Amino acid sequence: MNIPTTHNAARNGEIAKTVLMPGDPLRAKFIAENYLDNVECYNNIRNMLGFTGEYKGKKISVQGSGMGMPSIGIYSYELYNFYDVDNIIRIGSAGAIIDDINLRDIIIGQGACTNSSYASQYNLPGTYAPIASYNLLSQAVEIANKKEIPVRVGNVLSSDLFYDDANSLADWRKMGVLAVEMEAAALYMNAARAGKNALCILTISDCPMRGLATTPEDREKTFTQMMEIAIEMG
């Protein structure tokens, strides 16, 4: 467990026990610049920016994960196992599957279905169900309620496919899956294997079944409600 790693330039003690993890490293930069005090950048390898600062006097870090389960799999594994991080809260974007979920709605991923083979590495004698850490989940819901921010809690789909030739989202909708994203299942599995905590809070950036979408700048700078829920949890 040598640090710095191939992917992370941080040294021992430079990363907080709780890390907020957006997919977009520029969203990490936005959070650091707008919510944290006494900020220091600990990582810029591959432009996967990571920052540590203070929020209301408490040390907290924020770092990009990149897109997809292989990418968040690497970064979250190293944070849990090499840097002794206890909590990772993914704050990402997602596509709504259920019709009554709209742009900018907030979803909290209680569980993460997946079409990935990520769990095959564990050689389990069955199908593993990746779930959030209940203490983080309940804390996020409580904060959202206090801030009067509406949230939906339920299953999300962590897909390996952004362009799905089979167009399978309707099949997942039949099972009540709320939204599709690309990282939560791997994060939840890494947390479980390391004995640590994880939660995925998502803002709806698009409704693929209805042809609705926000802009890249919106996703970087305006999804502030989920940021405010997550940062209060730090």
Kindly list the distances between the CA atom of residue 199 and the CA atoms of 40, 60, 108, 221, in Å, as whole numbers in the listed order: 24, 16, 8, 21
Nearest-angstrom CA–CA distance, 38 and 45: 21
Query: Which residues participate in catalysis according to the annotation?
Result: 206
Kindly list the distances between the CA atom of residue 78 and the CA atoms of 1, 93, 168, in Å, as whole numbers in the listed order: 9, 23, 32
Give 150-208 as a DSSP string.
-EEEEEEEE-S-SS-TT-THHHHHTTT--EEESSHHHHHHHHHHHT-EEEEEEEEEEET
Nearest Cα to Cα of residue 92 among 74, 55, 67, 73: 67
Q: Specify whether the backbone of 233 is left (phi greater than 0), alpha (psi in -120 to 50) or beta.
A: alpha
Q: Please, are residues 108 and 137 in contact by the beta-carbon 8 Å criterion? A: yes
Rg value, the chain, Cα:
17
Strand, coil or helix: 135? helix
